[in-house]
Amino acid sequence: MKKFALLLLLLPFLFAEPLEPIAIARLKYGGGGDWYSNPGSIENLMRFIESHTGIDMAEKQAVVEPSSPELFKYDYLYMNGHGNVRFSPKEVRRLRHFLENGGFLHADDNYGMDQSFRREMKKVFPDKDWVELPFDHPIYHQTFDFPKGLPKIHEHDNKPPQGLGLFHEGRLVVFYTYECDLGDGWESAEVHHDPEKIRTAALQMGTNIFVYHLNR
């Protein structure tokens, strides 16, 4: 009888479907900006996350538009680029709904999208302002420790990198890496010729952002 009772307890676990690998979804936005910038970066990051955390990551990145029915299949979006960003009124509503209901966006300025990105996010959250995260914020102290905040990957204009956040009901829903260029550091070494130390720091910080999202 005891063996039978134990089997009954284990049945839900024995026949449960295995969890699917997690994909990071690249946000495809309008406005003419190069949303596809650094095409190999996300998959390199996913391989790094998997090898350093044991999290089962998908083989390929996903690509999703804010208006797509597929948007809510994912809960972690990444966007980058150098040019203009523009969301339609429908996309503004859907992004706000996505972010207010558990979704997370990591926006990574490649130097050039800052002005338009801030403009469009003000449409998404007109009642919220950017907050610079202090260096003791948990996002900098997950799998890897960054006591001085974001690493500087490319020295375009010698300004310090900033980690900026938008919060909803006390929860970080958008993390904006500004003057940092993490995505360039995630690319393969032959693309931007970044030193290994810089690329590793970028991948480590990207891992922290992803793990922080999972732990929110």
With a CB cutoff of 8 Å and minimum separation 6, the contacts of 110 are 34, 37, 38, 80, 81, 82, 181, 183, 184
Total structural domains within the chain: 1
How far out from the chain centre does Cα 56 lie?
Answer: 16
Which pLDDT belongs to residue 157?
Answer: 79
Q: How far apart are CA 121 and CA 198, in angstroms?
A: 29
- Kindly state whether residue 144 falls inside one of the protein's structural domains: yes
Q: How far apart are CA 205 and CA 141, in angstroms?
A: 9
Pairing mode of beta strands 62-64, 104-109: unpaired
Q: Among residues 162, 156, 157, 153, which one has the least CA distance to residue 197? A: 153
- Kindly state whether residue 14 falls inside one of the protein's structural domains: no
DSSP 21: P
- Kindly state whether residue 164 falls inside one of the protein's structural domains: yes
Domain CATH code at residue 167: 3.40.50.12140
Q: Which domain holds residue 166?
A: 22-215
Q: pTM here?
A: 0.91
| Average pLDDT per block of 10 residues along the chain, 216 residues long | 42 55 97 96 98 97 97 97 97 98 96 96 98 98 98 86 97 97 95 94 98 94
Pairing mode of beta strands 162-168, 131-132: antiparallel
